[in-house]
Structure 1
Amino acid sequence: MGILPNRRPTLWLRLIMAVLACIAASPASFADDLKLERVVLVYRHGVRSPLPGEIRIDEVHGRAWPAWPVPPSVLTPHGREGVMAMGRFDRQWLSGAGLFPPQGCPAAGSVGIWANTDQRTIASAQALADAFAPGCGLKVGHLPQGAADPVFNPVASNAVDWDGHAALAAIQRETKGPDALTAQHRDAMSAFGRVMGCVAGDGQPACIPATWHGTLALGADGNGIALGGPIADTSGTSEAIIMAYLEGKPMAEVGWGRVDAATFRFLSQLHSLLFDVHARPSYVADRVAAVLAGRILAILDDPHAPRLNVFVGSDNNIVALASVLGMHFEMPGYGKDDPPVGGALGITVWRSRSDGHRTVRVVYQAQTPDQLRYLRPLTKDRPPAQRPLVPQVCDASPSHCDLDKVLDVLRRSASHGRG
């Protein structure tokens, strides 16, 4: 039995999808005056095996973690299939919106794809390309594997004006510290303890809420941020369990058989708390997103840019960009502000046929946990989950946000780049 039931889309969801042109049969499905001009999709990679050092807490009674079919941090075959399902769906809704033909190879220069340098991001980007245009040999751009790419890792690349003291002060000011963050999620922390096997009388730290205290300080280099305590310990450990579910492992191997829909969401919420420190605070977000924001700014402001532009990175890239735009999100099955595996934040630009004025709509699209676990085909009638998002500068209107307002926000973030 899956975590989320396979329900048909509600009428409300159908209306939202129509507004965003995600499953439209023709441009006439939108306001007749508007034409989809350009799309930017910022994807998170697909299902991967656990990262080295990601698991910080073991099952308290010594039960083993499940084995994986690939080395650490690598996109799995199941993950590739899940990403390809999204690539096929992207072709369906973008052709329905009139941006591409429904079949055949896109025109030269009409699609641009750039990936971070991890195996999982490069392989995910190639899977998207292969599914979007089968047999067309779409190329994925990226720096050498393992290199620090400023688009996705601007701080490590020394591509932004970063001051560790200023970052630490902003994090502390906006979050009130790690203990304040975890205090809001005691129910999730308790659920984590149950998944890890805690029962009455257990004395391990994961089983004693009174010991859940975090630390936040400058790193050993005097510039990075060192986070210790429950957020650091539970975030990656929770993510390893989430990945096991999405990989389709038997439920006995997903949190040792102790995970249901509510628990999955709790684990997702714990995973997302890491971003409340390392990606969402304003000082941090402006810099983590700076180079990516600059790339998107150039694309949206260039009439000759590719019609579809895809960036494939990691969860922190999406959270930082969403924070820069003043947006929160919560996708079905996941915790607040936790980017679903293999999902994308989409920025779409529309041009008025009558006066040439351009507006922006933002959407988050991702497979539900069960769609990805069971590799359910994505179709017009059974699409991935989709949620409209409204940038803070858009006056709460998802369909009439002036492009120039969004460009100004991206320009402010990009100004923190050194290049």
Structure 2
Amino acid sequence: MASMTFDGIGKTYPDGTVAVANVSFTVADGEFVVLVGPSGCGKSTLLRMAAGLELLNSGRLLMDDQDVTNTEPQDRDIAMVFQNYALYPHMTVYENMAFGLQQRKMPKDKIEKLVRDAADMLDLSKYLHRKPGALSGGQRQRVAMGRAIVRHPMAFLMDEPLSNLDAKLRVQMRAELKLLNQRLGVTTLYVTHDQVEAMTMGDRVAVLKPVGNNEESNLQQIDTPQRLYDRPANIFVAGFIGSPAMNFVGVELRVEAQSLRATIVGTGITFSVRASAALSAYAGRQVIAGIRPEMFQVCSEQEALFNEQIPVAEALGADTYVFFDIASPAVTVSDAEEPDDFKHKGKNRLVARIPPAATPAPNQRLPMNVDLEKLHWFDPLTGTAIRD
């Protein structure tokens, strides 16, 4: 087993495209770390650099504190599991799993034991003589995992291995992969674009963002799933982690009778805010408030902050998501954005999670308030979280 350290990693392609910039983090020995982010954020490039399939333009890659930046892929003792399984269709399951060991000239009896042990672990023993074409997607993914496991590598690299499976099987395989990691204790770096997958599988999750003109690094935050959800470092992480995504509204802050008051821009919705030192520094300015869907509470009209028509409701059994518009411009954060952008006319569509019993009829008004103690606050220019 081994730790894996990315030290100021950077990758720029010949056409000038910056794929990865100044990424630094460590995957501890035996840790399961997930890289998550939208398309073009550099997560697969980082994985390929870890495997030695992409050259670095800057920085270092360390395995157990040994510099392997210029080490050939075959000498890194890393096993990679691909999205498309990459199985040999003309070989049986046994032959696919044994192939890498045979190439290393390992004795047949040792190969037999390693393959059988991995097959038992993955419930593949009865399929060893079948070819991949006779297997389901989940079984093929297990074969790809088995081919990696038999090598007993220092680390696993997994590039969206579940993305080709149907929704039900993905949920099942998520649990199986997590249990397998706990059993083997192998350092694992896992790439996905699915934030639910990231949150349910990772010991820690690294949230990546495409590098913009003024971005210093793709890496926005790396932390445990719960801390990413509860304490996002910036508006990008806040909006990416959580499903449905966090709502954002522009808010004007002012001091009134020695307390801090907030008004949602473009509306008459006003409420008191707990005056933390960090937030109080923004008095007289505009900020961004983040409201998670579960912070909304159905209430009486007298208690309501929001009482809007509900044009769309999505019933999901245990919960209902209701969507509604407020007369406030939608919030986006960019490098060049100014707070005055909040004063532009427009509508902002919000989503709330409510109990099914409270689901309104189409276009009926639904009075709701918000758990104001749980609001998230962000700087409108930088997008960074405002907190003490």
TM-score when normalising by structure 2: 0.21
TM-score when normalising by structure 1: 0.20
Structure with the larger helix share: 1
Larger Rg: 2
